[in-house]
Amino acid sequence: MTEAIGWVSSLILLATILQQVRKQWEERSTRGVSKWLFLGQTAASTGFTIYSALVGNWVFTVTNALLLLSGLAGCVLTLRFSKFGKQALARS
């Protein structure tokens, strides 16, 4: 039962973050999204993934590794759809 609570909670958290990434992708915009959101998430998820693996907690290892991937995707989309990213694409 304890593991099930952890996995369900992980799925809820992942769904929430992935919804934000999907919204950015569909709207091709970073409006309303702090540039620090995904940078902070990526940094925290890296640390939590390492920590979770070291203490042998696989629920959190998997969850944080997936959050790390979603954070990286968010960073890429934020850069790509920001004013800087649009200017770089226009020049190429």
pLDDT of residue 25 exceeding 70, the answer is yes
Sorted by where each begins, the domain ranges of the chain are 2-91
Per-residue pLDDT reduced to its tens digit, 38-83? 888 899 899 999 999 999 999 999 999 999 999 899 888 888 887 6
Q: What is the DSSP string of the chain?
A: -HHHHHHHHHHHHHHHHHHHHHHHHHHT--TT--HHHHHHHHHHHHHHHHHHHHHT-HHHHHHHHHHHHHHHHHHHHHHHHSHHHHHHHHH-
Statement: residue 27 has pLDDT above 90: no
| Per-residue pLDDT reduced to its tens digit, 5-24 | 878 888 888 888 888 888 88
pTM equals 0.73
CATH of domain 2-91: 1.20.1280.290
